[in-house]
């Protein structure tokens, strides 16, 4: 079977399962709203980073992106849906590639749109504090944020395929991101900088002095996502539907 019809079928599933478009809407709304609020409230902080302030909403937006990736896969493990999918597309690798593409493309599109809207909303609330940002820095933040959110959605999708459960995936990922980044991040030393969320978010910072730069950090997040996808593909091949 050709790839395009399989991809079209997977896109139809995502478009018609009500929680999935809802997760993308939540990504846009929360990302934009909290970037605007972050821009209004963060200028007085001693370590204020105006570029990061324009994408502050990524902290909550990534939860919606992770939920989107996990739910898109977990729907296949309910009511025998995966058996029907694999009966229509017996080549499991072919189906898995189409499923991940159907997750990646809307996550990237909505991520880029959210990042752009967040930039404009935050610049309004930041006022003169954003005047020092260059066009290149702002473009890097917008593109980087969109790619980062797509990678986090794929990371969650790969884990959900491996664990065969969206609930388990979200129960692991969401506390991990919130607790490691906000609670023990600074106390954990250099190792935490290589975690998928911390590494990828370097691209949103104007100033960075850690072991990773903007694009190398995003590359680390990509490695996490690829590892999760390979593990999910392995589990899919090894286990019955």
pLDDT tens figures, 200-222: 999 999 888 878 899 999 999 99
Q: Tell me if 240 is assigned to some domain.
A: no
Percent of the chain with pLDDT over 90: 51
Q: In this predicted structure, what is the pLDDT of residue 1?
A: 66
Angle at 157 between CA 121 and CA 226, to 5 degrees: 95
Distance between first and last Cα of the chain? 19
Q: Tell me if 190 is assigned to some domain.
A: yes
Give per-residue pLDDT as tens, 67-97: 999 999 998 888 778 888 887 887 888 899 9
When divided into structural domains, the chain yields a total of 1
Q: Tell me if 192 is assigned to some domain.
A: yes
Q: Domain of 19?
A: 3-235
Distance CA 211, CA 190 (A): 8
Give per-residue pLDDT as tens, 108-118: 999 999 999 99
Q: Tell me if 212 is assigned to some domain.
A: yes
| Distances, alpha carbon 34 to alpha carbons 51, 58, 146, 162, in Å | 14, 8, 16, 32
Q: Could you give the dihedral angle defined by the CA atoms of residues 56, 36, 131 and 199, in that order, rounded to the nearest 10 degrees? A: 10
Q: Tell me if 241 is assigned to some domain.
A: no
Distance CA 231, CA 95 (A): 15
210: left (phi over 0), alpha (psi -120 to 50) or beta: beta
Distance CA 156, CA 74 (A): 10
Q: In this predicted structure, what is the pLDDT of residue 223?
A: 98
């Amino acid at each position: 079977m050709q790839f395009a019809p399989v991809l079209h079928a997977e896109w139809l599933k995502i478009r018609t399962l009500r929680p999935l478009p809802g997760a993308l809407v939540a990504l846009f709304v929360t990302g934009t709203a909290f970037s605007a609020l972050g821009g209004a409230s963060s200028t007085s902080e001693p370590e204020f980073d105006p570029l990061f302030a324009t994408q502050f909403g990524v902290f909550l937006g990534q939860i919606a992106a992770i939920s989107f990736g996990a739910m898109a896969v977990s729907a296949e493990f309910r009511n025998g849906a995966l058996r029907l999918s694999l009966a229509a597309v017996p080549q499991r690798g072919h189906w898995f590639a189409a499923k991940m593409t159907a997750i990646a493309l809307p996550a990237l599109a909505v991520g880029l749109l959210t990042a752009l809207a967040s930039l404009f909303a935050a610049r309004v609330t930041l006022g003169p504090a954003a005047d020092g940002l260059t066009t290149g820095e702002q473009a890097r933040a917008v593109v980087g944020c969109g790619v980062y959110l797509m990678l986090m959605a794929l990371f969650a999708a790969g884990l959900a395929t491996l664990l065969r459960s969206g609930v388990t995936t979200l129960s692991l990922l969401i506390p991990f991101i919130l607790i490691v980044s906000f609670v023990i991040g600074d106390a954990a030393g250099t190792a935490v900088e290589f975690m998928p969320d911390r590494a990828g978010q370097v691209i949103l910072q104007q100033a960075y002095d850690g072991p990773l730069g903007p694009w190398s950090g995003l590359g680390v997040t990509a490695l996490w996502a690829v590892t999760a996808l390979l593990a999910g593909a392995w589990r899919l091949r090894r286990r019955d539907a």
